[in-house]
Copies of this chain bind each other. A is one copy, B any other.
Amino acid sequence: MTPPPKTGTVHGVGLGPGAADLMSVRADRLVRGTRHIAYFRKAGKPGQARRIVEGMLRADAVEFPMDYPVTTEIPLDDPRYAEVLARFYEDCAAHLRALAESGEDVVVLAEGDPFFYGSFMHLYTRLSPQVPVRVVPGITGMAAAWAASGAPITWGDDVLTVAPATLPEDDLARRIADTDALVVMKIGQNLPKLKRALGAAGREAVLVEFAAMPEERVVPLAEVEVAPYFSIALIHGQGRRP
């Protein structure tokens, strides 16, 4: 009789901000060595995670693209939105769990760092009680953004606040006023609100677009009319420096 297969491991692998050589050595080895690889993408698009690993996969790699359900017709605060997403994550997790239970390791690609916002976390909470899951941390998009900006983000005793631009405007303005260094994520459609909140707080920010990618650009946020999806706003700390 054949013994049952040893359960495989699901690896949540941080890919870093977008340049393939900003992946960690550990991530690079896992991506190149794996037979099973999974990644999120918008339906009909190649997806940023998959793009980063282009040319790195084994010839016999089996890909499992996880296409986000198209939800533009359901408002974000509609309970049906959460239901559709929950079902989607359940289905993805079920597939990955079945692979692991059949003895296969799987690499799940995560842009940036797997535990810092992002979609992998929704698989992690579902899978980690059931099969072995290991997380490889990654360089965050914000670290690439402040590297691109040409100035350190935090000095000495600076406090850093990371806030999503999806916050209510008053909240955002209060956070902006009450910190030394600032990172704002998830800008997109919230750019006009972010500009007003910066104005209310009396502070200026730079916008880093496509950090660590060929289109990388750093501009005063006040001069920007449209923020691309890969945009991060920064205010640099001015703390103690001998």
Q: Which residues of A contact B (CB under 8 A)?
A: 14, 16-17, 19-26, 28-29, 81-83, 85-86, 89, 113-117, 121-122, 124-125, 128, 135-140, 143-144, 146-147, 150-164, 166-167, 175, 178-179, 212, 240-242
Is the beta-carbon distance between A124 and B139 smaller than 8 angstroms? no
Select A161's contact among B117, B155, B160, beta carbons within 8 Å: B160
Q: Which residue of B lies closest to A143 (CB)?
A: B137
- Decide: A152 and B115 in contact? CB cutoff 8 A: yes
| Whole-angstrom CA separation of A139 from B24 in the bound complex | 8
How far is the CB of A137 from the nearest CB of chain B, in Å? 4
- Inter-chain CA distance A122–B156, complex, in Å, is 11
A12 to chain B: closest residue by CB: B147
User: Could you tell me if A82 and B21 are in contact, using CB atoms closer than 8 angstroms?
Assistant: no
A161 to B154, CA, bound (A): 12
A19 to B24, CA, bound (A): 10
B153 touches A116 (CB 8 A): yes
For A115, A146, A153, A163, the residue with the greatest tally of chain B CB atoms inside 10 Å of its CB is: A115
**A151 CA / B114 CA spacing, docked (Å):** 10
